[in-house]
């Protein structure tokens, strides 16, 4: 099957959206049964499951666009690291709960405006998936913002932990809002929004919330990127090993 350039472009985009959701869901899933309190454990698992549901929609569409007979499961469980298109932020280790919450906050603050804008994508399938996902993302952002403010503007210990998490993760946030050639072509085709608009909304939300949380982003931190081009961090191989080993060891195994 021959694919048009625009089809390749949209395939790439569906992978980026799907892989962000998949890899973050995989990281969050590791908290199941280990979160600090029961209520938080369930809430975090809910977020992971929301993201996993969105993953299925994006990767099923990616597989369709590719047209080579692969399924969403094939894309999730049988691709190698270099073929994953998620931003580096979502693959960062869970660390402690402050790290996990800060990572979630920085992601959600991008995810919501992105999905809101994608509702008017020129690609009707993209618009449809965005419409289905946007309410979940709105709740995720409410929740992570609330917790970041509570813990930042909390006790001395919780504030120190949140500030350290922000210092560690801040550099990874920029990749989501920094356009590369693919993002620019997607914006030109009207498939995805201009990332500069998303960056403005991201900054407005993040700056206000961090100020309320009495946290200070590091100054002049370089943007760490590479994930969107398939260049991932060292821990990513271990994440994939855990996520994929069952399908690799027992190809086609099903429940």
We find the least distance from the C-beta atom of residue 158 to other proteins, in angstroms, to be 12
Question: Nearest approach, Cβ of 49 to other proteins (angstroms)?
Answer: 9
Can residue 158 be called a binding residue for other proteins (CB under 8 A)? Answer: no
Give 167-209 as a DSSP string.
HHHHHHHHHHHS--HHHHHHHHTTSS--HHHHHHHHHHHHHHH
Are 72 and 63 a contacting pair, CB within 8 Å?
Answer: yes
Size of the site for other proteins (CB under 8 A): 10
Residue 119: burial class (beta carbons within 10 Å; 0-12, 13-18, 19+)? middle
Stretch that binds other proteins, among 32-40, 126-134, 189-197, 206-214 (CB under 8 A): 32-40
- 39, 68, 220, 234: residue in contact with other proteins (rule CB under 8 A): 39
Our CB check for other proteins shows the closer of 42 and 83 to be 42
Provide the sign of the torsion angle of the four alpha carbons 69, 72, 76, 81, taken in this order: positive
Of the candidate residues 71, 80, 83, 146, the single one contacting other proteins (CB under 8 A): 146
In contact, 229 and 86? CB cutoff 8 Å: no
Which of positions 46-75 make contact with other proteins (CB under 8 A)? 46
Instruction: Give the interface with other proteins as residue ranges (CB under 8 A).
Output: 37-40, 42-43, 46, 143, 146, 150
């Amino acid at each position: 099957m021959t694919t048009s350039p625009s089809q390749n472009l949209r395939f790439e985009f569906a992978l980026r959206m799907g892989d962000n959701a998949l890899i973050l869901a995989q990281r969050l899933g590791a908290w199941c049964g280990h979160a600090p309190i029961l209520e938080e454990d369930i809430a975090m698992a809910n977020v992971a499951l929301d993201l996993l549901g969105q993953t299925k929609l994006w990767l099923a569409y990616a597989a369709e666009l590719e047209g080579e007979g692969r399924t969403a499961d094939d894309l999730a469980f049988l691709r190698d690291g270099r073929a994953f298109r998620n931003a580096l932020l979502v693959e960062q280790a869970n660390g402690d709960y402050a790290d996990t919450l800060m990572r979630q906050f920085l992601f959600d603050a991008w995810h919501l405006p992105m999905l809101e804008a994608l509702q008017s994508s020129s690609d009707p399938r993209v618009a449809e998936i965005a419409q289905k996902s946007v309410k979940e993302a709105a709740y995720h952002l409410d929740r992570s913002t609330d917790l970041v403010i509570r813990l930042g503007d909390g006790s001395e210990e919780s504030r120190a932990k949140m500030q350290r998490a922000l210092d560690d993760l801040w550099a990874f946030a920029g990749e989501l809002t920094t356009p590369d050639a693919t993002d620019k072509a997607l914006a030109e085709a009207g498939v995805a929004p201009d990332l500069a608009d998303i960056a403005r909304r991201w900054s407005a939300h993040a700056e206000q919330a961090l100020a309320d949380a009495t946290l200070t982003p590091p100054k002049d931190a370089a943007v760490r990127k590479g994930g969107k081009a398939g260049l991932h961090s060292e821990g990513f191989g271990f994440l994939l090993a855990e996520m994929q080993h069952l399908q690799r060891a027992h190809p086609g195994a099903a429940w």
